[in-house]
Amino acid sequence: MNDSHYVHRNSGRRSSGTNRTSSGRNNGRRVLSEQEKEAVRRRHRERMRRKKRQAAMIQALVILLIIAAAVIFFVFKGFGFVFGKITESRQKAIAAQQFQIHTTEAAQTSSQVPETTTIEPTTTVPETTMDPNLVLSNGRYLDITRPMVALTFDDGPRADVGNRIMDYLEAVDGRGTFFMVGQLVREFPDEVKRMAENGHEVANHSWDHDIHLSRESSDYILSEFSKTDDAISSVCGVVPEVYRLPGGNISDTVNSTLSKPLIYWSIDTLDWKTKDPDKTFETVKAEVTDGSIVLMHEIYEATGKACEQMIPWLHDQGYQLVTISELLTYRSNNARTGNKGQIFCFPPVETTASDSSS
Ligand code: NI
Active-site residue list: 154, 297
Distance CA 352, CA 158 (A): 45
pLDDT, position 122: 47
Residues of the chain with pLDDT under 50: 1-24, 94-96, 98-123, 126, 128, 353-358
pTM of the entire predicted model? 0.64
pLDDT, position 93: 56
147 Cα–ligand 1 center, Å: 26
150 Cα–ligand 1 center, Å: 16
pLDDT, position 11: 43
320 Cα–ligand 1 center, Å: 24
Q: Which residues pair with 271 in a beta bridge?
A: none
- Alpha-carbon radius of gyration of the chain: 40
29 Cα–ligand 1 center, Å: 114
330 Cα–ligand 1 center, Å: 26
pLDDT, position 124: 53
28-60 as b/e, with b when 16 or more CB fall inside 10 Å?
eeeeeeeebeebeeeeeeeeeeeeeeeeeeeee
Hey, what long-range contacts does 238-243 have (CB within 8 A, 24 or more apart)? 238/196, 238/202, 240/201, 240/202, 240/203, 240/204, 241/201, 241/203, 241/325, 242/177, 242/201, 242/203, 242/204, 242/324, 242/325, 242/328, 243/179, 243/203, 243/204, 243/205, 243/206
Distance CA 44, CA 27 (A): 26
pLDDT, position 227: 98
pLDDT, position 95: 47
pLDDT, position 115: 39
210 Cα–ligand 1 center, Å: 9
